[in-house]
Chain A
Amino acid sequence: MTKREIRSSLPGTFYRASSPDVPPFKADGDAVVAADTIGLVEVMKTFVAIAAGTDGANIRFLVENEEPVMAGQVIAEVEE
């Protein structure tokens, strides 16, 4: 089973949901299609949606909610 990495294009703070009161965009184990938003990165008070960019199954997040990320850092992995 090949794994595909989903990276953040930007440095900032990673969020799994659009606000603290709603469920995360994706739960661990979900399937995704390329256009799906899997999280947000807040860079200098601006929120940027991170798309999966690939179709895949069984998503695994490698970054916790509200944790800092660097540009190019792998946020999650999916199985092809």
Chain B
Amino acid sequence: MTIRSVLIANRGEIAVRIIRAAQALGIRTVQVYSAADADMLAVRLADEAINIGSPAPKKSYLNGAAIVAAARAAGVDAVHPGYGFLSENGDFADAVEAAGMIFIGPSGDAIRLLGDKVQARAVAARAGVPTVPGSDGRIEDLAAARAVIARTGFPVMIKAAAGGGGRGIRIAHSEAEFEQQFPLATAEALAAFGDGGLYLEKVVTRARHVEVQIFGDGDRVVHFFERECSLQRRRQKVWEEAPAARLPEAVRTRLCASAVALAETVQYRGAGTVEFLYDETTQDFYFIEVNTRIQVEHPVTEMITGFDLVQEMFKVAGGAPLSLRQDQIVRRGHAIECRINAEDPSRDFMPAPGTVTRLRVPEGEGIRFDTMLYEGYTVPPFYDSLLGKLIVWAETREACLDTLTTALQGLVIDGVPTTIPLHLALAGNAAVRASDVHTRFLETWLETDAILHSDDRAEVA
């Protein structure tokens, strides 16, 4: 069934992006909003808007029952979940389908399967996709641990089975260190989590974050090449590129084939991303996780392939086969996306909502700005700090970095602090220009670099 109307179960810039894709396809749009979002751009652009609750996300954008009720009341054919919120909630996908509408994404079962770290790792292993070497579950004693280390090598991570969120992790760099740390880690895990169980995982030092955009129609799966998102702060991506600058072509071919193989084993339907850690020194890559939705950074892929991924989501969800065969998907040039957040880089990235008093958006060939801002808009404090994404394309990465600098200089957002100064500094940084980066690069650089702290120091002086 071709989709003729859609409810957008999201907010911010991605809601705007989805509405524009829907409008290009002649699809009627219904935008839900919280009481704090009545003035948002997506509400203004949509054909219809429905208030679904108070500002707190769990009372509005995470309230699946309210969203399904709104969708039924509006009589839409489909629901697009965007990213975040309910986009990777299998039960929400099921509820939408059970109410007789199309969920624009994979099935609830596929979302649950791939959303479970242990099960997803097993799916990857079955598809022949490399996973980070380590123990299969808990290790019982030192002898078992030595057998695992024979495969992982050093350094090795000792993780508490009951830990999480970075807690309960020790790193051993040698056998002597390991034998000293292992009993301590057991005692520590027992004290902290009431469970002394441990498992082991190889440490990929100076790892790069590389991910493959895949798309399936339930029958075939294709890829749209990779993105690199190694510049992260507190595990949040801040700058993304396509393609990965220093990836050898042979590795790219294997990487993309791995992602397709994984998705094929579950007859994947819709847009998805398979994330990997890449070890540049050994040219090995390891599966991390699958994101069963459109990603924030999808525009860099669109810029190098000239293909609209969000429009394709509507077509495939409506029952059409994939528009393209793999051999029709070609990449050209280089694209970079900078996430422009309402955060103050000179104050440890403290977020600050407020009213945008002036907005100047750079224009020109290869420049795109995906945003929910307009002059006079008040950014509410209840949601994430993403204001927009500046995306730049050029024939080469070097030219792309130059265009990016010009575009960043032309982007003016007054009224709220933004991360534009961070991106300007990164665009001029020698290591970034050489793409000599890894997932810990940005945090280390922020601790040592003086550029972003100069204002504070002047004030102190």
List the interface of chain A (C-beta within 8 A of B): 10-13, 42-46, 66, 68
1/0 per position for B164-182, CB-CB distance to A under 8 A? 0000000000000000000
Bound-complex Cα distance A44 to B343 (A): 9
Q: Which of B2-40 contact A (CB under 8 A)?
A: 36
List the interface of chain B (C-beta within 8 A of A): 36, 54-56, 342-343, 350-353, 381-385
In the A-B complex, list the 5 residue pairs whose CB atoms are closest, starting with the nearest. Answer: A44-B351, A44-B385, A12-B381, A11-B381, A43-B381
Give the one of A13, A42, A43, A66 with max B CB within 10 A: A43
Bound-complex Cα distance A14 to B220 (A): 48
Chain A interface main SS type: strand
Chain A proximity of B278: nearest CB distance (Å): 28
Bound-complex Cα distance A13 to B36 (A): 12
User: Please, which residue of chain B has its CB at the minimum distance from the CB of A10?
Assistant: B381
User: Please, which residue of chain A has its CB at the minimum distance from the CB of B348?
Assistant: A46
Report 22 cross-chain contacts, Cβ distance below 8 Å, ordered by A residue: A10-B381, A11-B353, A11-B381, A12-B353, A12-B381, A12-B382, A13-B55, A13-B381, A13-B382, A42-B381, A44-B342, A44-B343, A44-B351, A44-B352, A44-B384, A44-B385, A45-B351, A45-B383, A46-B351, A66-B56, A68-B54, A68-B55
With contact pairs A45-B351, A46-B351 given, residues A68 and B385 touching in the complex (Cβ less than 8 Å): no
A68 x B351 contact (CB < 8 A): no
**From A10, A44, A66, A68, contact of B36 by CB (8 A):** A68
B36 x A43 contact (CB < 8 A): no
User: Please, which residue of chain B has its CB at the minimum distance from the CB of A44?
Assistant: B351
User: Please, which residue of chain A has its CB at the minimum distance from the CB of B343?
Assistant: A44
User: Please, which residue of chain B has its CB at the minimum distance from the CB of A43?
Assistant: B381
Chain B interface main SS type: loop
Chain B proximity of A18: nearest CB distance (Å): 15
User: Please, which residue of chain A has its CB at the minimum distance from the CB of B384?
Assistant: A45
A43 x B353 contact (CB < 8 A): yes
Tally of A-B residue pairs with Cβ under 8 A?
37
Chain B proximity of A46: nearest CB distance (Å): 5
Bound-complex Cα distance A68 to B57 (A): 12
B350 x A46 contact (CB < 8 A): yes
Give the one of A10, A66, A68 with max B CB within 10 A: A68
A residues in contact with B350, CB < 8 Å: 46
B residues in contact with A46, CB < 8 Å: 350-351
B351 x A43 contact (CB < 8 A): yes
A13 x B56 contact (CB < 8 A): yes
Bound-complex Cα distance A68 to B54 (A): 9
Bound-complex Cα distance A12 to B381 (A): 5
Chain A proximity of B296: nearest CB distance (Å): 14
With contact pairs A11-B381, A68-B36 given, residues A43 and B352 touching in the complex (Cβ less than 8 Å): yes
Chain B proximity of A17: nearest CB distance (Å): 16
User: Please, which residue of chain B has its CB at the minimum distance from the CB of A12?
Assistant: B381
A residues in contact with B55, CB < 8 Å: 13, 68
Chain B proximity of A22: nearest CB distance (Å): 17
User: Please, which residue of chain A has its CB at the minimum distance from the CB of B382?
Assistant: A13
Chain A proximity of B148: nearest CB distance (Å): 34
A44 x B353 contact (CB < 8 A): yes
A residues in contact with B36, CB < 8 Å: 68
Chain B proximity of A49: nearest CB distance (Å): 13
B residues in contact with A44, CB < 8 Å: 342-343, 351-353, 381-385
A residues in contact with B385, CB < 8 Å: 44-45
Bound-complex Cα distance A44 to B352 (A): 8
Bound-complex Cα distance A15 to B351 (A): 18
With A44-B382, A68-B36 already in contact, 8 other A-B pairs whose C-beta atoms are closer than 8 Å? A10-B381, A11-B381, A13-B381, A43-B381, A45-B383, A45-B385, A68-B54, A68-B55
B residues in contact with A45, CB < 8 Å: 351, 383-385
B residues in contact with A42, CB < 8 Å: 381
Chain B proximity of A9: nearest CB distance (Å): 11
User: Please, which residue of chain A has its CB at the minimum distance from the CB of B350?
Assistant: A46
